[in-house]
Amino acid sequence: MTGVALVRRPSPRLAEGLVTHIDRAPVDFDLAVKQHDAYRATLAAAGWDVRDVEAAEEHPDSVFIEDALIVCEDLAILPRSGAPERRGERAGAERAARELGLRIASIDGSATLDGGDVLQVGATIYVGRGGRTNADAIRQLRALVAPLGRTVVPVALRGVLHLKSAVTALPDGTFVALPEHLEPGVFPSFRPVTEEGGCHVVVLGEETVLISASAPRTADHLTDLGFDVHTVDISEFEKLEGCVTCLSVLV
Ligand SMILES: NC(=O)NCCC[C@H](N)C(=O)O
């Protein structure tokens, strides 16, 4: 199930990245670069063809490439970020999508959407309705993916940046979540986790996941359930409300 993994090098202005729900903490840029290298290496070791989206040095949050590009089959959807400071990240993401030969669509007008609010599981696309994503964008997304046979399921969020800050799916299609941030009753069922970093997994293969080193109990639990679990330390990105999912787009 491997393919291309798009990543984007951290901007030297990384420490100026946005923080919304947590207090600002100093970011060690050199450590962030090393952590990003280790993250890339983990994707490559799992068989992914890691490719760089052109860097956007003037955009502190550009390393969080997931927010600037959504890929559904052969369709690339370019979101219009809910953070005006991040809208300039889209141009480079569009060029990367074109280089991959993807069809291009975009979220436009007054609609706002961050890729971190989009969780694709089989034929369902869950979309977080929170601070970054509005109803207009959910309508536009629904129209764009309907021809691909996808159903959009909106989820109201509470007290969290993005949908994928609170829930992601394991390779078996079950969910790991911090339920207190999610509208109740939307997900068919989920495995509640106690560590914040435990609800963010990147699915690297049919039984392989990548998870933050900040969630050791969840990593042990998933290993005990028979998953092949890789951990990476992304502490410098977590200080900016980033998580393992937002550092790549798996195509
Ligand atoms: N998908 C994600 O979880 N993205 C994290 C974005 C963090 C960035 N500091 C932001 O506030 O936009």
Low-confidence ranges of the chain (pLDDT < 70): 1
Q: Give the residue numbers marked as catalytic.
A: 162, 246
Say how many Å lie between the CA of residue 226 and the centre of ligand 1: 30
Q: What is the pLDDT of residue 188?
A: 87
Q: What is the pLDDT of residue 170?
A: 97
- Residues flanking ligand 1, CB < 6 Å: 17-18, 20, 61, 64, 66-67, 83, 86, 116, 161-162, 164-165, 240-243, 246
Joined together, the tokens standing for residue 239 give 């200080």
Say how many Å lie between the CA of residue 162 and the centre of ligand 1: 8
Q: What is the pLDDT of residue 53?
A: 98
Cα 144 versus chain centre, distance = 20
Report the domain count for the chain.
1
pTM: 0.96
| Alpha-carbon gap, residue 6 to 194, rounded angstroms | 30
Say how many Å lie between the CA of residue 241 and the centre of ligand 1: 6
Which of 86, 118, 133, 161 to mutate for ligand 1's pocket (most ligand atoms within 8 Å of CB)? 161
pLDDT 10s digits, 78-126? 999 999 999 999 999 999 999 999 999 999 999 999 999 999 999 999 9
Say how many Å lie between the CA of residue 224 and the centre of ligand 1: 30
pLDDT 10s digits, 137-151? 999 999 999 999 999
Q: Which one-letter amino acid corresponds to residue 108? A: D
Q: In terms of Cα–Cα distance, which of 160, 170, 231, 227 is closest to 196?
A: 160
Residue 186 domain boundaries: 4-250
Q: What is the pLDDT of residue 153?
A: 98
**Looking at ligand 1, which atom is closest to the CA of residue 67?**
1
Q: What is the CATH number of the domain that holds 121?
A: 3.75.10.10
Q: What is the pLDDT of residue 2?
A: 84
Edge-first strand order for the sheet with 151-156 is 118-121, 124-129, 151-156
